[in-house]
Chain A
Amino acid sequence: MSKPEKLIENGIRLDGRKPDEIRPIKIKVGVLNRADGSCYFEFGGNKVIAAVYGPREVHPRHQQKSTSAVVRYRYNMASFSVEERKRPGPDRRSIEVSKVSREALEPVIFEEYFPRSAIDIFVEVLQADAGTRTAGINAASIALADAGIPMKSLVSACAVGKVDDTLVLDLNKDEDNYGQADMPIAMTPDGKITLLQMDGHLTRDEFKEGLEMAKSGCMAISEMQKAALLEKYSGQIGGDAVE
């Protein structure tokens, strides 16, 4: 697709959103039976699935840490996830995304509860439409909770960017490709930032404003994550439950 003339017209973006609006989100918890925890996450055109295994034995053995668990995160794009077939297997980009996503989640996981074990997180991108790493982190954080892994809180992620000299929340494919800046951010519900990357240029003021926008985006996502988790066990609780 060639560059559209204008990415924003009369304050409305190409896909009809306002600048500070996130794309529609759909979440399903516990979609995989073999995994200890799993989540299917749709973020606009992004479709990702996250699976969590563990804590479990570490293989290969030399990776294990004697005082805490190792967290391993694998971000992978399916070959059919983008228009032009992606060559399967890890490449430079997906190795980077795996690393930063792991580091976005590690601060909230109580790793020290499980010495000499591994927590494996797998994120498969089925369909990509800009912002797959944020979608992956959102999905992985739900899958971790679903696996019963102790965490300080969930992590929510969302991108801000600049297109046509306007700050926009949660870029889509065209805005990502032809925009001036893209800044994915992950944070906990109390505002602690665990991931911040930037591609492109922003002024100091734009950065500050963008951060606030991302924050409100993450809060909105956080609410949806919570609702999705609670929905899995929406039956009435209490009564004769035992300690």
Chain B
Amino acid sequence: MDKKLVIPGEFLSDDVNLADEGTYVEEGKVFSSVFGIASLKNHIRVVPLSGKYIPRPGDMIIGIITEVSFSNWIVDIRSPYEGLLHISEFPRRIENTEMSKYLNVGDAIITLVTDVDPSMKVELTLNDQRLRQIKEGRIIDVTPSKVPRLIGRSGSMIAMLKNETNCNIFIGQNGRVWITGKDKDLELAVKAVLKIEKESHVSGLTDRLTRFLKEEKGKKEKEPEKEREDKEGTTAEEQKEENIEPAEEEKQPEQKAEEEKSGGILDELLGDEK
């Protein structure tokens, strides 16, 4: 078996060149540095079973505004370090005095980490098509190291989950998961995500989850299912990142029409004003 549970300090290999994340090298040997699951094929890496999110440039994450300062929003990114969203990284030019009109304390955003300097100053941006404020649905927290598991091999897990629950799910690299859908569906999706988190280290998870979802659905069979647009089979990475768009499509028709008229993220962010 190429996977095993290891504790810090456990000997993994003699080949220093294979050492990857979650390991350290001492006297020409590779040891585990965390308590987690070691995979020994190709590269030796250990995925910790718990731990905090450490921001890296390029990560798409979900943040929550904690403070509005002179020209920055300070964002909680579920990490030891706070994120800084500068006013110039907002998709539109706005005045310092008006910042809290657009994003106020407690608002959730999908944001991108642009830079992390050695002193762990984390810079964020909203200047991207995929980034925007979150105004509906639910956000739940999972362990950041379990995010890859939740997405599944090339997105298989998340694609399955979306299909089965009729919800839209966005997974931030910092372990915040945003789910939108009808109340009943949402409940099921939340349950499923939490189940994945709890059992992520046990093999055969996908099968067990499929069964779990079937059972849960069986319970409420009588409820009429409304027709929905079928999810297109985009690949994992795309789906992970693009699922903001499908989220839009599933909204109520009148809302959708309105959006089409005004068009784009900008108006949505400014929506409160009108």
Contacts and interface: CB of A to CB of B under 8 A. Distances in A.
A235 B201 contact: yes
B39 A150 contact: no
Q: Is the interface on chain B under 10, 10 to 19, 20 to 34, or 35 or more residues?
A: 35 or more
Interface in B117-153: 118-120, 145, 148-149, 151-153
A233 B199 CA distance: 9
Interface stretch (B4-12, B85-93, B182-190): B4-12
Contacts of A239: 3, 203-205
DSSP class of A's interface residues: helix, strand, loop or mixed? loop
Contact of B153 (A113, A152, A238, A240): A240
A229 B5 CA distance: 9
Contact of A235 (B39, B119, B149, B202): B202
Contacts of B2: 238
Interface stretch (B43-51, B97-105, B248-256): B43-51
B35 interface: yes
Interface string A148-171: 111111100000000000000000
Nearest to B205: A240
Contacts of B5: 230, 233, 237
Nearest to A240: B206
Contact of B8 (A57, A153, A230): A153
B271 interface: no
B73 interface: no
Contacts of A146: 35, 50
Nearest to B39: A243
A54 B52 contact: yes
Interface in A37-85: 37, 54-57, 66
B148 A36 contact: no
B178 interface: no
Contact of B149 (A114, A152, A190, A242): A242
Contacts of B35: 145-146, 148, 229
Q: Which of A56, A113, A147 has the most CB of B within 10 A?
A: A147
B120 A115 contact: yes
A148 B33 contact: no
Interface string A137-150: 00000000111111
B170 interface: no
A55 B48 CA distance: 14
Contacts of B149: 241-242
Q: Which of A113, A189, A190, A241 has the most CB of B within 10 A?
A: A241
Contacts of A241: 3, 37, 39, 149, 200-201, 203, 205
Contact of A117 (B26, B39, B51, B80): B80
Nearest to B6: A230
Contacts of A117: 80-81, 120
A146 B143 CA distance: 13
Contact of B34 (A54, A148, A225): A148
Given A116-B120, A237-B3, A151 B153 contact: no
Nearest to A152: B9
A110 interface: yes
A189 B9 contact: yes
Contact of A236 (B80, B82, B202): B202
B81 A116 contact: yes
A148 B203 contact: no
Contacts of A190: 9
A188 interface: yes
Contacts of B49: 148, 233
A226 interface: yes
Contacts of B24: 110, 150, 152
Contacts of B80: 54-57, 114, 116-118
Q: Which of B2, B49, B153 has the most CB of A within 10 A?
A: B49
Given A56-B52, A148-B48, A242 B120 contact: no
Interface in B215-261: none
A151 B8 contact: yes
B52 A236 contact: no
A31 B265 CA distance: 45
B9 A188 contact: yes
A189 B10 CA distance: 10
Given A55-B52, A145-B34, A152-B24, 16 more contacts: A56-B80, A57-B80, A57-B82, A66-B119, A110-B24, A114-B80, A116-B81, A117-B120, A145-B8, A151-B34, A153-B9, A236-B203, A240-B204, A240-B205, A241-B39, A243-B45
Interface of B: 1-5, 7-9, 22, 24, 26, 31, 33-37, 39, 45, 48-52, 54, 80-82, 118-120, 145, 148-149, 151-153, 199-206
